[in-house]
Amino acid sequence: GNNNRLTNPYYRQLRQLIYFGNEGQVYLNRAMTNWHQWGQLKPYNNVLKEILGEPIPAKKMWNPDAILRVEDVTHSPITQERLDKAAATQLVFEDVLFHIIDYLIRTTGSNKLVMSGGTALNCVANMRLLENFNQTYYQRYFGKDTHLHLWVPPTPGDAGVAMGAAYNFALANGVPTGEKLKHAFYCGIPPSTASISHSLNTTEEIAYIPLGNVNCPQQREEIADLAAYIISQDGVLGFFQGAAETGPRALGHRSIVANPCNPHSLENINELVKFRERIRPLAPMATYEAAQRYFELSPGASDDNHNAYNYMVLTTRARPESYQLIPAVIHHDGTSRVQIVRKNDTFTYAYLKAMGRRLGVEVSVNTSLNVGSPIVQNPEQALQALKRSKGMSGLIMIGADGDTFIAWHDILSPPKDAGERLLAWYYQWQAESAVILA
């Protein structure tokens, strides 16, 4: 969509929806919206309908009695009008956010901001916050040679507000707050090898082979190299390992990975794997060194070796060379929602290092492991996602003790080939590496 406030045909009209107070307040223009009136939620009136069009009826958006089948999913046509309206909505949202943050900064003089709640999930706005409240801003209003430092917690959704309130209470009352965060808020219990084996052996139309154990460093490197080899052949794999991530994105434990160097990866995953709109971008996961090379990491997110980029809560602008090298993970506006993978995520990190050897970039496509459903949690759900997808080559499943398997949908129904290509890649890799795993 058109992200220019001067030329977007809907921005000026939507901007009339809100107005600001002198102390950070944001007010709704009730001539344009019926929000919080008459005891019911009917935010659309005729003025707003003239700008945005008729709203989608609630019964079309939410039907708890229906069972979602990906074959039944339909999408409205992607038109420039719809794109521009979405862009205008984002611009107005950013106006509100900037107004509030500007007031907070001017009131406190601080250059450090921790932001949570649903608003903090808007990774594009987070990037633009850092671009707006830069050294020029602080020099102009405070005479300081500094810039805004932003940190968004790993789970910044509405649930994060409750956690933040508890943390604030603890700080205010001298209660120990625990150790420094060491993980991306993985939750639950890692699946056992027994539960994975049971699912592999009882789920219909599933075949698999064992690959070894990732707790053994040598076998971990070999399995990671196999995964990178399959991706280098333009295969698409699911990663199912350890406890699941908390929050609306995957960080390598419940992920679908693909070739970032192939521009067709975007189309393939959106149309054949995830069954979603073709405009949906794909995100990159990368080692820290690769992230620094291919993306313009913000100084405002640089604390603790750019820790803010660990959790996919910030977009960043791609460097010029990235457009040719990793086109699948560069959005049309030149940004990427990057995740930096650290060494403590041993298998995912080993996979990215293997990608560097196989494709020359320590980068991978990363999208959540789900097909017309929430992100999978257990082995049964992971295998169902594999079966529902038309474009996944296989699924790597790692038990809590490190035992690792690769599974595929054992059915011949184009484009599915009963694992023929996957097995061909596996045997080619074996011959090339001269390594046969246990």
Three-class secondary structure assignment of 31-57: CCECCCECCECCCECHHHHHHHCCCCC
* Confidence check: pLDDT of 385 > 60: yes
Please say whether the dihedral angle defined by the alpha carbons of residues 5, 9, 12 and 14, taken in this order, is positive or negative.
negative
Partners of 335 in the beta sheet?
Answer: 317
The angle at the Cα of 207, spanning 427 to 218, to the nearest 5 degrees, equals: 50
Task: Report CA dihedral (131, 133, 134, 135) to the nearest 10 degrees.
Answer: 170
Q: What is the pLDDT of residue 436?
A: 45
Q: What is the pLDDT of residue 182?
A: 64
Could you tell me the domains of the chain? 11-172 (no CATH), 187-433 (3.90.870.20)
d(CA 185, CA 204): 33
d(CA 286, CA 262): 16
d(CA 186, CA 246): 6
Q: What is the CA radius of gyration of the chain?
A: 23
Query: Is residue 363 classed as helix, strand or coil in its secondary structure?
Result: strand
Q: What is the pLDDT of residue 377?
A: 94
d(CA 365, CA 362): 11
* CA atoms within a 13 Å half-sphere pointing along the CA-CB vector of 30: 4
Say if CB 395 and CB 383 are below 8 A apart: yes
Q: What is the pLDDT of residue 65?
A: 52
Each residue's pLDDT tens digit, 135-165:
999 999 999 999 999 999 888 877 767 777 8
- Residue type for position 3: N
The average confidence (pLDDT) of the chain is 90
The angle at the Cα of 117, spanning 99 to 188, to the nearest 5 degrees, equals: 160
d(CA 136, CA 143): 9
Q: What is the pLDDT of residue 40?
A: 56
Strands (E), 68-138: 112-114
Q: Which residue has the higher pLDDT, 405 or 176?
A: 405
Of 240, 223, 237, 224, nearest to 188 by C-alpha is: 240
Angle between helices 420-433 and 217-232 (to 10 degrees): 130
Which of these ranges, 34-43, 77-86, 225-234, 357-366, has the smallest mean pLDDT?
34-43
* Confidence check: pLDDT of 102 > 80: yes
* Confidence check: pLDDT of 88 > 90: yes
Q: What is the pLDDT of residue 30?
A: 82
d(CA 422, CA 233): 10
Q: What is the pLDDT of residue 41?
A: 61
Q: What is the pLDDT of residue 98?
A: 97
Mean pLDDT of the 262-280 span = 85
Of 204, 228, 200, nearest to 348 by C-alpha is: 228
Q: What is the pLDDT of residue 126?
A: 97
Say if CB 29 and CB 16 are below 8 A apart: yes
Angle between helices 123-132 and 80-108 (to 10 degrees): 50
